Amino acid sequence: MSPGSPNQKVIEGYRFPVDIYYHKEHTWARVKEDGNVRVGMDDFFQKVAGVIINVELPSEGYQVEQGVSCGKIQSSKWISSIVSPVNGSVVAVNHRLEEDSTLVNSQPYRDGWIMVVKPVKLEEDLRQLMRAEQLDEWLRKETKKARAEIDKRKSRQGLGRF
Amino acid sequence: MVKLFALGELPGLQSLTVFHALAMLNMECLIVVSPRDPIVSIGYFEEADESVDLGSCEKHNISVMRREIGGGTTYLDANQVFYQLVLRKGNPIIPIRIVDRYRLFSEPPIQTYRRFGLEVEFRPINDLCTKEGRKIAGEAGGDIGESIVFAGGILLDFDYLAASRIMRVPDKTFRDMLYKSMKENVTSMKRELGEAPQKKEVECVLVEEYEKLLGPMEPAELSPAVQELMAELEDKFTAPHSAPKRGLRPRMEVKVAEGVRVVRRLHQGAEGTIRLTMEVKNDKVIDIAISSDWAFSANDELRRLERTLRGVRLQGDVLRRVLRRFCEQYGVDSEEIGLQDLARTILAKQLRRQHSPLLDVRAAERQIDSTSNEDLASEQ
């Protein structure tokens, strides 16, 4: 798959496969054939976060809630939350991240996955998530808003480029 | 309007629980506070008994507390003025990239130092340094609830001895080198200016500078609800730290400032072990102390090897060339010292710690912008 492929959207330089769902806190959800949901961090997150140094995974059996933090990630001396995109119980976690957390950087949609969740109300949860097309509009709006704010403050303070 | 909590001094633990509580309550604010008594703060991913000399802390009556923001073990005391900024996640002032958050939110403390005559600049990712490159503030941040927190401290003065004493390190040689490295690479207003300004003055300037960034702030006081939550968090974050587990190794690497580390490497040669304690700055050996327990380790040879390695860049080919030349020059049997293994030992990037994978950070940085196409392939 290439950046121009119909199977992914490239928005502001960030890649988003079109076959998965996205939460606004930058987790993705892929519905597997067995009905469980694989979850990971999206390309936007890994790029703005920098090199991932540590990942705290939820335990298997842990009940996750949509929109609620279920783990932590450290990069650039910053602790970010892993926010679950769906409700359910964790049935598997990616222990490879304990050995190499940078898989979240190098393969965010594949070997860098975080956990697999057995969902309890999948259809309802999916309605709250975005597809790549919706993400496009939302992300562009968000980045535009952020840039406008930065420009406003830069001109007020004479600060350097952010 | 962002609230301003100008709290003066609080008991050590409260000076840190306060920002956690206000973030959990989703209250946008700037907190300016100093700890009345010394405290050791460990990072979210650290283990107290691995990183901190708990015996020394107990002896000197220093509390140890985990924080929910990033970074490593930090010694904090009344000679520091903390700035803790809490903003709601959706606030458009928050830059998207983490490094840009540090850069933007560091501007007020940088300007504060400058107004007191100290030329300080931002050094990515999260250090403020003097022109000479000495660290004068470390910063950290993270998501707490629906808020983000950015925190750091103005160093009026710095207690090098106390800061090196609270770290759990392998031995006295390591601790002495750590102390020396801190003196060389960390500084304070008192050290740079001859004397530290009054804390009150610093607090006022800091608030003025943050108002330039955030707009006018509304002075506020800690409500009973906030104080109650702080008390709960104090219990949670200071849950008894167990005594060091049997066989648990002390930390073999301590970061002093961005790019500066004191490390311990152990090399098993044919006849015994070589212990290397090194101060490494930007991948170059600044200082090194070597001890060993086998024949090669006649003191003269060890001192020569130390002299040879000082100033050497930690790159495989450079290091191997230097070691080979050392063996030829002084007639040392390269097989006896296990030259190849010794080079590998010295070059080891990081020692494994719990939750801390072996990382080649530079290689990982290169990967960030070049996520492989295969990664995007669908898979069930």
Interface touch A19/B378, C-beta < 8 Å: yes
The residue among B289 and B150 whose pLDDT is bigger is: B150
The 8 Å CB, 24+ separation contacts for B240-247 are B241/B48, B241/B49, B241/B52, B241/B54, B241/B64, B242/B49, B243/B49, B243/B54, B244/B49, B244/B50, B244/B54, B244/B168, B245/B49
Contacts of A51 in chain B (CB under 8 A): 359, 361, 364-365, 368
Interface touch B374/A110, C-beta < 8 Å: yes
Nearest CA in chain B to A30: B380
Q: What per-residue confidence (pLDDT) applies to B294?
A: 62
Query: pLDDT band at residue A4, thresholds of 50, 70 and 90?
Result: low
CA A92, CA A74: separation in Å to the nearest integer? 21
B73: burial class by Cβ within 10 Å (0-12, 13-18, 19+)?
Answer: buried
- Helix residue ranges per DSSP H, chain B: 14-24, 48-51, 54-59, 98-115, 160-165, 172-185, 189-193, 199-214, 224-237, 299-309, 316-330, 334-337, 339-347, 361-368
Q: What are phi and psi of B176, to 5 degrees?
A: -65, -40
Q: What per-residue confidence (pLDDT) applies to A101?
A: 92
CA B88, CA A50: separation in Å to the nearest integer? 21
User: Is the pLDDT score of B298 beyond 50?
Assistant: yes
Query: Which residue in A107, A149, A159 is closest to B375 by CB distance?
Result: A107
Q: What per-residue confidence (pLDDT) applies to B41?
A: 94
Q: Cα separations (Å) of B140 from A51, B125, B312?
A: 15, 10, 31
Share of chain A above pLDDT 90, in %: 64
DSSP 8-state assignment for residue B12: T
pLDDT in tens, B316-330: 888 888 888 888 888
Query: pLDDT band at residue B280, thresholds of 50, 70 and 90?
Result: very high
ipTM of the complex: 0.82
Nearest CA in chain B to A37: B380
The residue count for chain A: 162
Interface touch B367/A148, C-beta < 8 Å: no
pLDDT in tens, B87-139: 999 898 998 889 899 999 999 999 999 999 999 999 988 889 999 999 999 89
Among residues B181, B162, B5, B21, which one has the least CA distance to residue B78? B162
Q: Cα separations (Å) of A143 from A32, A136, A138?
A: 31, 11, 9
pLDDT in tens, B50-93: 889 999 999 999 999 999 999 889 999 999 999 999 999 989 89
Structural domains of chain A ordered from first start? 8-152 (2.40.50.100)
Nearest CA in chain A to B152: A77
Highest-scoring range by mean pLDDT, A76-80, A83-87, B315-319: A83-87
pLDDT in tens, B141-189: 999 999 999 999 999 999 999 999 999 898 999 999 999 999 999 999 9
Vertex A14: Cα angle to A138 and A109 (nearest 5): 105
pTM over 0.90: no
Interface touch B125/A76, C-beta < 8 Å: yes
DSSP 8-state assignment for residue A86: S
C-beta separation of A29 from A86 below 8 A: yes
Query: Which residue in B96, B104, B375 is closest to A110 by CB distance?
Result: B375
Among residues B256, B262, B263, B264, which one has the least CA distance to residue B75? B256
**Letter for the amino acid at B316?**
G
Query: pLDDT band at residue B363, thresholds of 50, 70 and 90?
Result: low
- Helix residue ranges per DSSP H, A85-128: 96-99, 103-106, 122-127
**Letter for the amino acid at B300?**
D
Taking each helix axis from N to C terminus, what angle separates B316-330 and B299-309, rounded to the nearest 10 degrees? Answer: 140
- Which residues touch B281 (CB under 8 Å, ≥6 apart)? B185, B259, B260
Interface touch A143/B96, C-beta < 8 Å: yes
Q: How far is B138 from chain A (nearest CA, A)?
A: 10
* Segment B277-290 mean pLDDT: 90
